[in-house]
């Protein structure tokens, strides 16, 4: 049409793939993986004071705070002398380079060891010291592989359940009863552990879930050691109740439940960085002597803690003004606002120096599931170090939350 504008036809550019088809298969890139190595796990039950409480009949304790020093015993050929003692202790080795679950289990079997350092007590409660050098008096222990698998080519997972149990054979008549009847009135001190490890070989870290439970008496500690001798606390516990009330039976009281991520070097050793996803302790933060040997009562957040042994205007008996019943330590009834399980691994609770306090009577399986789920959310503490975490435990009061006793450990031995 006359006067119409001429429309230019655009030029079609030459089309081609940004990467030639012949080159779209990609090129292999070599990624240096963290080396799979063997780690040693220690779990120990000890009494920090010079002597036990009165309801422990004043048997001698270990006179120490929480420690990363090595355990020893004359019958343990790998370490016959050392600096720290424990009432019962156990160690085992996790060889992540084992290659199969059977080989991993075999290494657990060969490496596990349970020992007790010498027990002694007052003349009226003891037949004399027991060094536990004879096999028949030594504690027993197990370490079993629940899992050993690769999540993917750059990930190695291992899971171990463990147990140890030992008796105080220095107690009056206990050795005679054991030798003649193979039984004794002395209860077994039981401790169980559930450990889960995942090594991310590309991203260079180790994820750890550690749950320790059992009698809840005495104190307990656990740590893991790399091939270079670097150590990382897996958790610490201040005892609840008394030996007279809490050792009998197959107990599953929660002691501590922690989820950590630690940096790894290419050699598989621990680096300096640490992330804390959650940290939970079993039992009330105070009056731990009075924590019951039967299930406690969980109340709503913000409500006061109530002990049946305390004077209470409302009266536990239902009669206002009633006086408290006479109750032995460890046999009280306690109602308290324990932290709910939902706080474990919520991405905010249980950071460094701010542990959750959950009921020691929470169901073990439910606590374990919360620990495993913690990796779905951010860590509660994401900018700390192995040194800071270890120092927190090394300088933690080993009698925290318990009534003062004339035999308490000198604070100079644990305070900074």
Q: Where are the domains of the chain?
A: 33-288+339-413, 297-337
Q: Which two tokens stand for residue 101?
A: 């679950």
Averages of pLDDT over each 10 residues, the chain, 416 residues: 55 56 65 96 99 94 98 96 97 98 98 98 96 98 98 94 98 96 95 99 98 99 99 99 94 99 99 98 96 93 87 59 62 92 97 98 98 98 97 98 96 94
**pLDDT at residue 14, as a whole number:** 54
Q: Read off the pLDDT of residues 190-236 as tens digits, 9 standing for 90 and up.
A: 999 999 999 999 999 999 999 999 999 999 999 999 999 999 999 99
**pLDDT at residue 325, as a whole number:** 61
**pLDDT at residue 290, as a whole number:** 92
Instruction: Return the HEC string of the chain.
Output: CCCCCCCCCCCCCCCCCCCCHHHCCCCCCCCCCCCCCEEEEEEEEECCCCECCHHHCCCECCCCCCCCCCCCCCCCCCCCCCCCCCCEEEEEEEECCCCCHHHHHHHHHHHCEEECCCECCCCCCECCCECCCCHHHCCEEEEEEEEEEEEECCEEEEEEEEEEEECCCCECCHHHHHHHHCCCCCCCEEEEEEEEEEEECCCCEEEEEEEEEECCCCEEEEEEECCCCCEEEEEEECCCCCHHHHCCCCCCEEEEEEEEEEEECCCCCEEEEEEEEEEEEECCCCCHHHCCCCCCEECCCCCCCEECCCCCCCCCCCCCCCCCCCCCCCCCCEEECCCCHHHCCCCCCCCCCCCEEECCCCCHHHHHHHHHHHHHCCCCEEEEEHHHHHHHHHCCCCCCCCCCCCCCCCHHHCCC
**pLDDT at residue 141, as a whole number:** 98
**pLDDT at residue 26, as a whole number:** 63
Question: What's this model's pTM, rounded to 2 decimal places?
Answer: 0.91
**pLDDT at residue 169, as a whole number:** 98
Q: Read off the pLDDT of residues 46-81 as tens digits, 9 standing for 90 and up.
A: 999 999 999 999 999 999 999 999 999 999 999 999
**pLDDT at residue 323, as a whole number:** 58
**pLDDT at residue 152, as a whole number:** 85
Distance CA 384, CA 392 (A): 11
**pLDDT at residue 1, as a whole number:** 47
**pLDDT at residue 322, as a whole number:** 59
**pLDDT at residue 319, as a whole number:** 59
């Amino acid at each position: 049409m006359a006067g119409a504008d001429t429309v230019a036809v655009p030029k079609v550019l030459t089309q081609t793939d940004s990467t030639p088809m012949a080159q779209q298969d990609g090129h292999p890139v070599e990624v240096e993986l963290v080396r799979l190595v063997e780690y040693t796990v220690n779990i120990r039950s000890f009494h920090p004071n010079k002597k036990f409480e009165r309801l422990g009949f004043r048997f001698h304790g270990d006179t120490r705070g929480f420690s990363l020093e090595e355990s020893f015993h004359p019958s343990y050929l790998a370490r016959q002398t050392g600096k720290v003692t424990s009432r019962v202790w156990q160690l085992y080795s996790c060889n992540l380079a084992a290659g199969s679950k059977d080989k991993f289990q075999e290494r657990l079997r060969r490496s596990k060891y349970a020992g007790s350092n010498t027990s002694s007590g007052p003349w009226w409660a003891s037949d004399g010291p027991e060094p536990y050098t004879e096999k028949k008096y030594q504690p027993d222990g197990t370490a079993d592989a629940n899992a050993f698998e690769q999540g993917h080519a750059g990930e190695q997972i291992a899971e171990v359940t463990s147990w140890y149990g030992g008796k105080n054979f220095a107690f009056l008549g206990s050795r005679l009863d054991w030798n003649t009847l193979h039984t004794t009135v002395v209860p077994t001190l039981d401790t169980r552990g559930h450990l889960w490890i995942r090594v991310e070989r590309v991203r260079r870290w180790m994820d750890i879930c550690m749950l320790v439970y059992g009698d809840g008496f005495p104190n307990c500690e656990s740590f893991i050691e790399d091939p270079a001798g670097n150590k990382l606390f897996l958790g610490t516990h201040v005892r609840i109740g008394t030996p007279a009330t809490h050792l009998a039976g197959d107990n599953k009281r929660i002691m501590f439940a922690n989820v950590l991520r630690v940096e790894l070097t290419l050699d598989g050793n621990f680096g300096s960085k640490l992330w804390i996803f959650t940290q939970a302790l079993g039992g009330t933060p105070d009056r731990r002597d009075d924590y019951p040997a039967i299930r406690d009562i969980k109340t709503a957040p913000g409500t006061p803690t109530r002990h049946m042994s305390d004077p209470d205007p409302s009266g536990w008996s239902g009669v206002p003004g009633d006086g408290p019943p006479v109750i032995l330590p460890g046999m009280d009834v306690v109602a308290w606002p324990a932290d709910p399980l939902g706080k474990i691994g919520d991405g905010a609770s249980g950071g460094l120096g701010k542990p959750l306090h959950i009921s020691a009577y929470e169901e073990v399986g439910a606590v374990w599931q919360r620990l495993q789920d913690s990796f779905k959310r951010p860590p509660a503490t994401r900018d700390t170090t192995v040194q800071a975490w270890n120092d927190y435990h090394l300088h933690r009061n080993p009698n925290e939350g318990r009534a003062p006793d004339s035999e308490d450990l000198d604070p100079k031995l644990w305070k900074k």
